[in-house]
Each structure stands twice: as C-alpha cells, then as structure tokens.
Amino acid sequence: MLESRPKSPERSYDHRYHIGNAGDVWKHAVWLALLGARPQQGLPLTVVETHAGRGLYQRGPTGEWMEGLGKLGDLSGAPESLAKLAQLQGCGAGRVGERLVGSPLVTISAMRTGDALLLHELDPEACASLRSAVRGADGVTVLEQDGWAAAPSPGKHIFFVDPPFASREEWQLTATRAIAWAASNPRSTVVVWYPIKGASRPAALVNALRASGVAGWFGELWTAPYDEGRNRLNGSGMAVLRPPAGLEAAVAELGGWLGPRLAVRDGDWQLKMAGWKAKERS
C-alpha cells in the first residue's frame, strides 16, 4: 500500500504517490477537453507522450488522490471532459475506483480510427507495467526510451509532456524541447503539464513558451493560496503551443467547476488563463 512517500532523497520520481491528486485531475481533464476539441473530420493524429508513467495504478486506502479525485463528489452537471475522466477513474456517488488510470489510458479513451500513440517511459519497471496496461490497444507503441529525444515526423502530431520536474534543469529542458518540437513541424501541437509550488519556475516556463513566437495558451488552477507553503502542490498548469480552437471555453468551464471542489481552504481558489498570438515567420 502506498500511503506516504519514502524519505530517501535518492528515491527517483514515482507517479504512484501522486496518482489522482488535484494536479492529475486538472491535467487529465484538460487533456480530454483538448483531445475532444478536434474536428470530427480531421486527419489521423499521432500523440507522442514523452513521459508516460505506468498506465494503471492501484490506489492506496489513503493518499494524494484524496485531495483530487476524492473531492469530486456529486458529478451531476460536471463538464463533459470531467464526466468522462470520472467514468474512467471509477468515480461517482462519492466513491473513487480502486484502480486508477494514468495519461496513456486517458489518451487511448479519446483515440479515433487511424490515430497512433507513442509512449516513452524510461524506468524499466514502470515501462513493464505500462506495456501490460495498454496491451491489445490499437495503434499504441511503448518505447523504453528517453522521451526528451522523441523525434517529430510529418503529419498531425500532439506532444504531451509530463516530466517529474525534479530539477531546475528539467524545467529549462521542458521549455527548450517544447519549443523545438513546435518549430519542427507546423502541424505540431505541444502540451505541457507543470506543477505550481513556487511561482517563479512556472512563470519562467510560460514566458519562454510565449517568447517562442508560436501561438499559445496556458490555464492554471490554483487550489491552495500561495501562503500555504512552497513545498506543497498549490496548483498546476497546462500550457499549449498551437492550441485547438475552442479550448479556452471548455477549460474555463472546467476550472469553474473544479476550483470550489478542490480548494484546500474553503472558497479559496484561482483560475488563471492567458493566450498569445503567433509571431511565426512564414
């Protein structure tokens, strides 16, 4: 049972401790809203997940999921993407499923005929678990490879970038690689999830994406006020280069629904969204 995080600083990142938390709810619900914003008649899509995780997680009796999925409660009137996520996570009538899905299975739930999914996961044990979680799904390839080295190819692509953010360098690499992936293919969309503990690293990431010249958008859901402390997850953001049309309205609805429910202090939450136009050279 995974109830608390090991104390050892050498312990590498393990998403089992975070599955279903407030950041995961925001990440997976916005991701579903984004995938749902595709035109019905659009071209087949290749989704490249650079940091896929285990795919499927057994939740403990307590854990971070209690601050996320565990707070959703009555889902009547929930926005479409959240209702879909709740169904995938076995949530409803105040209960949360025992086995929780990670982003690869969330993505698979939104794939259409002809779409492909490339999943990168560097940790051998997590990768073995991922292979078994996605076994039998059409169009899915699992690669035990470095997601930062994922190469774009022609065609319509979405990169989904969800690293552990274990160091300052990883924040910088996220910005550099996201901009490079967007620049390499004019039909690439790049989606980055980021945690908000302090304010400076998220702001630097968004500023770098904004300075790239590629059209973009970010949406942050703060579920704890900043004075709750720097070492807790005060919120999280999704930043997108070349966002699909219609995403902002869906995410605004989602944030308005989730904010009051996920707030750590009653009524104390914030949704921050901003977009910027392309300054791309032709």
Ligand X SMILES: C[S@@+](CC[C@H](N)C(=O)[O-])C[C@H]1O[C@@H](n2cnc3c(N)ncnc32)[C@H](O)[C@@H]1O
Q: Which residue is nearest to ligand X (CB)?
A: 102
The CA radius of gyration of the chain, in Å to the nearest whole number, is 18
Does position 64 bind ligand X by CB under 6 A?
Answer: no
Does position 102 bind ligand X by CB under 6 A?
Answer: yes
Distance separating alpha carbons of residues 241 and 276, to the nearest angstrom: 10
Q: Which of 119, 210 has the CB closer to ligand X?
A: 119
Does position 226 bind ligand X by CB under 6 A?
Answer: no
Does position 147 bind ligand X by CB under 6 A?
Answer: yes
Residue 188 Cβ vs ligand X, minimum distance, rounded to whole Å: 18
Distance separating alpha carbons of residues 21 and 273, to the nearest angstrom: 21
Total residues at interface with ligand X (CB under 6 A): 19
User: Which residues, in sequence order, are bridge partners of residue 218?
Assistant: 239, 274
Q: Which of 57, 218 has the CB closer to ligand X?
A: 57
Which of these segments, 36-44, 51-59, 65-73, 91-99, binds ligand X (CB under 6 A)? 51-59
Distance separating alpha carbons of residues 138 and 160, to the nearest angstrom: 19
Q: Which of 56, 271 has the CB closer to ligand X?
A: 56
Does position 148 bind ligand X by CB under 6 A?
Answer: yes
For 43, other C-beta atoms within 10 Å of its C-beta total: 12
User: What is the residue-wise DSSP string for 237-271?
Assistant: EEEEESPPTTHHHHHHHHHHHHHHHH-SSTT--EE
The 103-142 contact track toward ligand X, x by CB under 6 A, reads: x----------------xxxx--x----------------
Does position 13 bind ligand X by CB under 6 A?
Answer: yes
Residue 236 Cβ vs ligand X, minimum distance, rounded to whole Å: 11
Render the burial of 96-125: b for 16+ CB within 10 Å, e for the rest: bbeebbbbbbbbbbbbeeebbbbbbbbbee
With a CB cutoff of 8 Å and minimum separation 6, the contacts of 99 are: 56, 57, 58, 59, 90
- Residues in contact with ligand X by CB under 6 A are 13, 15, 27, 51-53, 102-103, 120-123, 126, 146-148, 162-164
